[in-house]
Structure 1
């Protein structure tokens, strides 16, 4: 791998042991995947933030590092809301350990936005090179924005944030971003919402695996695109997809899809995922809610009081921009939390069944929270929470 003189100095230990270790990690990763050089990045997004997932040894490793990020870098959702964790019923011992994780990342220069939707907070542009690690954020950046990032692990994203570069391989290279499979949707999608597109992504991810799909027959908006990608990343390993006439690279490029496998998806493939099992709680915001989604939740809750716990998750920056809307939501008895989500917080483990509007959560809740998941529209979720 070709390194510039400054990188050679870092690798020789002249800029400190932590930077040396971080660059060693990136060089090793690049060699595994055949990268010829490193590429400067615009930003990083670091996973491995919840104490629930990294535990004592992850925290000890973070505490051993001594360097700071040199590019804008944000943190993935943690295991609790930083300022309202008591309201979530979080055990004080867990809270203490989670706070130690947050302090460790802060010391390393990582911004404590704690979100899976960093694109709502920091400008990301077409063709920007990134080092993002959360699966739904990676999918959105690549597919909806047209930026360039592989799905980084937590350590490699942190290393990239500290070095300011990442190995140039995989989805950083244009030739690796072309469609590999066609998903041809045969359904009337004119009335589909976020949940329907999440269910489509849930089904499509199992068909696609780690290939790059090209969708035909759908016209999703930004929130619906977010839902498709998040679900495909959860049930498959999809880090990039294209939608005919919608996503930027599908608009800019005339892809020849005539010779690749085409798989039809029918309405029944999506509808079968919607069940009516009883639920103990309702949770929205996986990935974190947009401003438009918060406004829709507030509208549906107007004049209503929740009869089941209703959790809404969003980035703190999005909450701060929508204070009146959030206040309106919480007048119903629902709670809007930043920094965390239904998947990574131990608070959700108390429920045996959770209703969600997310294909990603439909895939993750059973394994991460230990209960059943029921998908429905935002309208369905609010109805169940208030009936």
Structure 2
């Protein structure tokens, strides 16, 4: 894999322990998928935000990196947390859980991450451009950014997304490449779809069948942005569709 001189410095630890570990993770990920180089990303969305998901090991990991001065290089948002951060008491969340969830959010905040927790970062100020390379985690957001906006991202895990945010780059493989964005399955739609629920039902059905393929839909005459979102989110949930064409 080709690395720039600056990237080689990160890999060799010249920019500190945190960036060395994070960049080494990206390099290994790139090696697994045959990436030829690293590419800069315009924004990141990090998953693994709920304390219920990451537990004490994840919390300690985040606090350790924040304490060591880890700072993101690009605009970075978070996936939803494990509770309502403002009304957790009224909703009956245990104080012990809430205390740890707040620590998780504080650690992310110290790293320069926008702690707006959302599945739709493109509606909250993180709107990528057409063709822009990004590193997002949430399945429906990945689908929307690839399919509707025309940005380029793989479906990142929490660690790889955080690494991309801290290093400002991601391996050049998968849906970042033109040849991997072509449809490989055609879905002919004969039914008349009228509302968001119809498109969600279609997406749920198709996702179960196509798994992680890239479907091309024919026969859809009119579709708005909310319906595109419903279609993509359902396919990402019932299957693993990260890109579709209409």
TM-score by length of 1: 0.61
Runs of 4+ in 1 over 6 A off after TM superposition: none
Matches within 5 A, 1:334-345: none
Residue 97 (structure 1) aligned with residue 112 (structure 2)? no
Residues 129-138 or 91-100, more deviating: 91-100
Aligned to 1:305: none
Aligned to 1:198: 200
Pick the aligned partner of 2:73 from 70, 75, 78. 70
Aligned to 2:117: 114
Aligned to 1:148: 152
Aligned equivalents of 2:201 and 2:82: distance in 1? 26
Stretches of structure 2 lacking an aligned partner (at least 5 in a row): none
Aligned to 1:159: 163
Of structures 1 and 2, the one scoring higher in RCO (CA 8 A, sep 6+) is 2
TM-score by length of 2: 0.95
Aligned equivalents of 1:12 and 1:123: distance in 2? 33
Aligned equivalents of 1:79 and 1:161: distance in 2? 21
Matched length = 241
1:204 Cα deviation after fit: 0.6
Deviation string, structure 1 residues 292-345 (Cα, Å, up to 9, x no partner)? xxxxxxxxxxxxxxxxxxxxxxxxxxxxxxxxxxxxxxxxxxxxxxxxxxxxxx
Residue 85 (structure 1) aligned with residue 85 (structure 2)? no
Question: Which secondary structure state, in structure 1, belongs to the residue aligned with residue 118 of structure 2?
Answer: coil
Residue 226 (structure 1) aligned with residue 234 (structure 2)? no
Stretches of structure 1 lacking an aligned partner (at least 5 in a row): 244-387
Aligned to 1:214: 216
Aligned to 1:247: none
Aligned to 2:241: 238
Residue 181 (structure 1) aligned with residue 203 (structure 2)? no
Contact 2:77 2:126 in 1 (8 A): no
Aligned to 2:32: 32
Aligned equivalents of 2:181 and 2:217: distance in 1? 14
